[in-house]
């Protein structure tokens, strides 16, 4: 089959916007860092808001900072079709994770308006606040608020500098006590559709530019604190030590073994801090995070139980204390069969074989699955790389993904 005909959206406009946005938060290392409620995020939202206005959309931000561009349909009061993603990034991240979904939705809706395509339902392009969770160690703040599930506890979560979500919101002019107003009523959203880079290698292996997502693996984030005894590196015999880092290292290896024993489970220790942190001091405390995922919640939680047991046994055997804090627990979700079918029809129209695949990465749609049907489209990632500067999807593949999104939105909004 042909690799996908692009005869509606403006691929040059899409690409130039993607490259312009990627310069906001650019690091010397070549990556992008745009944390939520920061100057960089504000600059990114201002730029996208200006493009939304150029596209003829009515633009607003809700109480949690979600940026929304609306195109009314024939029935302005009909349930809205949401399409978008996020503008925040991981530290030193790539150009496409998030922005492709926001700017792709904008390009699709701008094309619908420019071509005078009639649609019954209003369509809203949305850039969700803080999807990544890179600043406050739990993510999807904007989509939780839109689903009405952001809690007062969430607003008290602190970043590495002790700044709470609420304080960070106030620092950019938002009112945390108003977040409830961002929630959408049941029945008010017809569907949520997101275009995103795959961040894996399935499409590349199948030599396909785009694919249809069947479901999203659920991320469980935990923080482990191993508490031993700091001591002199030179005078403390090995048998008398309570070395927190040595114990933590044993737990990290147990984490890897537990996940590797399953078919799809993945486990990552992405952050580790040792204190006091002197060359000649036995670590008294080792703190690390665990990101544990599977598309099957039962399997994920069984692996979690096993890891907790192993960690308790290792620390007990060494005479150390262990504290485990849950940072976020997001259940895996399935994408709507109806939306997957609409997407497959559009793919076939474009001459693309409709390949279905799960998402190992988490996405805002997970928070909306209780509110409305959710659907996701993936665009091929070069070597499956993401969350670092080498993240790359070609202009052609991005355009094919956006053309597919455009055709899907035209169908879903009618
Ligand atoms: O962590 C994730 O899966 C996503 O990139 N937020
Ligand atoms: Mn990401
Ligand atoms: Mn993302």
98 lines ligand 1 (CB under 6 A): no
47 in a domain, yes or no?
yes
Distance (Å, rounded) from C-alpha 412 to C-alpha 414? 5
Give the number of the ligand closest to the Cα of residue 132.
Answer: 1
Mutate to test the pocket of ligand 1, among 132, 271, 329, 332 (most ligand atoms within 8 A of CB): 132
| pLDDT, tens digit, 9 for 90 and up, residues 208-259 | 999 999 999 999 999 999 999 999 999 999 999 999 999 999 999 999 999 9
Backbone angles phi, psi at 273, to 5 degrees: -130, 135
Distance (Å, rounded) from C-alpha 163 to C-alpha 122? 37
Question: 209 with 255, same domain?
Answer: no
Neighbours of 235 (CB within 10 A): 8
Tokens coding 297: 């919640």
361 lines ligand 1 (CB under 6 A): yes
CA 84 to centroid of ligand 2, rounded, Å: 14
| pLDDT, tens digit, 9 for 90 and up, residues 268-281 | 999 999 999 999 99
CA 314 to centroid of ligand 1, rounded, Å: 30
3 in a domain, yes or no?
no
Q: Classify residue 71 by its DSSP letter.
A: E
93 lines ligand 1 (CB under 6 A): no
Tokens coding 403: 């053309």
Answer for the pair 281, 233: CB distance below 8 angstroms, yes or no: yes
Question: 353 with 211, same domain?
Answer: yes
Give the number of the ligand closest to the Cα of residue 90.
Answer: 2
* CA of 133, closest atom in ligand 1: 6
Mutate to test the pocket of ligand 1, among 99, 219, 221, 388 (most ligand atoms within 8 A of CB): 219
pLDDT at 6: 72
4 in a domain, yes or no?
no
Answer for the pair 66, 175: CB distance below 8 angstroms, yes or no: no
Question: 309 with 352, same domain?
Answer: no
pLDDT category of residue 2 using cuts at 50, 70 and 90:
very low
Reduce the DSSP state of residue 138 to 3 states and report it. Answer: coil
Question: 24 with 129, same domain?
Answer: yes
CA 84 to centroid of ligand 3, rounded, Å: 11
Give the number of the ligand closest to the Cα of residue 216.
Answer: 1
377 in a domain, yes or no?
yes
CA 130 to centroid of ligand 3, rounded, Å: 10
107 lines ligand 1 (CB under 6 A): no
For residue 368, CA distances in Å to 68, 192, 268, 270, 333 come to 16, 8, 25, 27, 10
Cα four-point dihedral sign 219, 404, 342, 3:
negative
284 lines ligand 1 (CB under 6 A): no
**Matching residue, tokens 């580790």:** 272
Question: 162 with 89, same domain?
Answer: yes
Give the number of the ligand closest to the Cα of residue 362.
Answer: 1
363 in a domain, yes or no?
yes
Question: 98 with 166, same domain?
Answer: yes
132 lines ligand 1 (CB under 6 A): yes
Q: Is the pLDDT of residue 364 over 60?
A: yes
Question: 18 with 56, same domain?
Answer: yes
CA 89 to centroid of ligand 2, rounded, Å: 7
The tally of domains found in the chain comes to: 2
Residue whose C-alpha is closest to residue 57's, from 119, 106, 121, 117: 106
242 DSSP β-pair partners: 229
pLDDT at 5: 65
Cα four-point dihedral sign 146, 152, 157, 161:
positive
Final residue in a domain of this structure, among 329, 352, 372 = 329
| pLDDT, tens digit, 9 for 90 and up, residues 331-362 | 999 999 999 999 999 999 999 999 999 999 99
Report which protein residue has its CA nearest ligand 1's atom 6: 132
Give the number of the ligand closest to the Cα of residue 221.
Answer: 1
Residue whose C-alpha is closest to residue 246's, from 317, 309, 184, 296: 317
CATH number, position 245: 3.30.70.360
Q: Is the pLDDT of residue 398 over 80?
A: yes
200 lines ligand 1 (CB under 6 A): no
* CA of 97, closest atom in ligand 1: 5
Question: 306 with 340, same domain?
Answer: no
* CA of 199, closest atom in ligand 1: 5
pLDDT at 1: 38
Question: 133 with 116, same domain?
Answer: yes
Percent of the chain with pLDDT over 90: 97
Reduce the DSSP state of residue 202 to 3 states and report it. Answer: helix
Domain limits for position 324: 219-329
State the average pLDDT over residues 64-75: 98
Q: Classify residue 229 by its DSSP letter.
A: B
**Cis bond before residue 276 (omega within 30° of 0):** yes
375 in a domain, yes or no?
yes
Question: 101 with 212, same domain?
Answer: yes
Question: 300 with 385, same domain?
Answer: no
**N-terminal to C-terminal alpha carbon distance within the chain:** 28
* CA of 132, closest atom in ligand 1: 6
pTM for the whole thing?
0.90
| pLDDT, tens digit, 9 for 90 and up, residues 289-327 | 999 999 999 999 999 999 999 999 999 999 999 999 999
Answer for the pair 35, 172: CB distance below 8 angstroms, yes or no: no
CATH number, position 346: 3.40.630.10
Question: 133 with 199, same domain?
Answer: yes
Final residue in a domain of this structure, among 290, 305, 329 = 329
Distance (Å, rounded) from C-alpha 73 to C-alpha 76? 5
Mutate to test the pocket of ligand 1, among 194, 387, 388, 391 (most ligand atoms within 8 A of CB): 387
1 in a domain, yes or no?
no
| pLDDT, tens digit, 9 for 90 and up, residues 73-126 | 999 999 999 999 999 999 999 999 999 999 999 999 999 999 999 999 999 999
For residue 412, CA distances in Å to 15, 79, 373, 404 come to 25, 11, 11, 12
Distance (Å, rounded) from C-alpha 192 to C-alpha 147? 12
93 in a domain, yes or no?
yes
139 lines ligand 1 (CB under 6 A): yes
Final residue in a domain of this structure, among 329, 361, 382 = 329
Backbone angles phi, psi at 80, to 5 degrees: -85, 150
Distance (Å, rounded) from C-alpha 93 to C-alpha 84? 19
Mean pLDDT, the chain, whole residue set: 96
């Amino acid at each position: 089959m042909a690799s996908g005909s692009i005869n509606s959206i403006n691929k040059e406009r899409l690409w130039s916007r993607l490259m312009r946005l990627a310069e906001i938060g650019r690091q010397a290392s070549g990556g992008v860092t745009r944390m939520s409620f920061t100057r960089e995020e504000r600059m990114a939202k201002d730029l996208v808001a200006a493009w939304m206005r150029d596209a003829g959309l009515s633009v607003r931000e809700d109480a949690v900072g979600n940026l929304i561009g609306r195109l009314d349909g024939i029935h302005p009061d009909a349930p809205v079709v949401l399409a978008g993603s996020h503008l925040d990034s991981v530290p030193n991240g790539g150009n496409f994770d998030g922005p492709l979904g926001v700017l792709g939705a904008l390009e699709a809706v701008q094309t619908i308006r420019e071509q005078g395509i009639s649609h019954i339902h209003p369509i809203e392009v949305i850039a969700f606040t803080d999807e990544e969770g890179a600043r406050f160690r739990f993510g999807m703040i904007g989509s939780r608020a839109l689903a009405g599930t952001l809690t007062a506890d969430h607003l008290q979560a602190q970043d590495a500098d002790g700044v709470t979500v609420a304080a960070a919101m106030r620092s950019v002019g938002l009112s945390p006590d108003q977040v409830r107003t961002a929630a959408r009523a049941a029945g008010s959203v017809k569907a949520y559709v997101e275009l995103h880079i795959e961040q894996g290698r399935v499409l590349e292996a199948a030599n396909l530019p785009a694919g249809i997502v069947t479901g999203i693996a659920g991320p469980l984030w935990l923080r482990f604190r191993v508490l031993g005894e700091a001591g002199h590196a030179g005078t403390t015999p090995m048998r008398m030590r309570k070395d927190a880092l040595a114990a933590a290292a044993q737990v990290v290896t147990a984490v890897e073994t537990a996940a590797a024993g399953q078919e799809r489970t993945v486990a990552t220790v992405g952050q580790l801090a040792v204190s006091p942190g002197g060359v000649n001091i036995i670590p008294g405390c080792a703190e690390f995070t665990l990101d544990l995922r599977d598309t099957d919640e039962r399997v994920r939680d069984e692996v979690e139980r096993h890891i907790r047991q192993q960690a308790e046994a290792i620390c007990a055997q060494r005479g150390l204390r262990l504290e485990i804090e849950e940072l976020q627990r997001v259940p895996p979700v399935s994408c709507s069969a109806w939306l997957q079918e609409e997407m497959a029809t559009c793919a076939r129209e474009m001459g693309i074989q409709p390949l279905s695949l799960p998402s190992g990465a988490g996405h805002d749609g997970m928070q909306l699955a209780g509110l409305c049907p959710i659907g996701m489209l993936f665009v091929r990632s070069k070597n499956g790389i993401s969350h670092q500067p080498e993240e790359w999807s070609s202009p052609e593949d991005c355009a094919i993904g956006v053309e597919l999104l455009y055709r899907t939105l035209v169908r879903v909004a009618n």
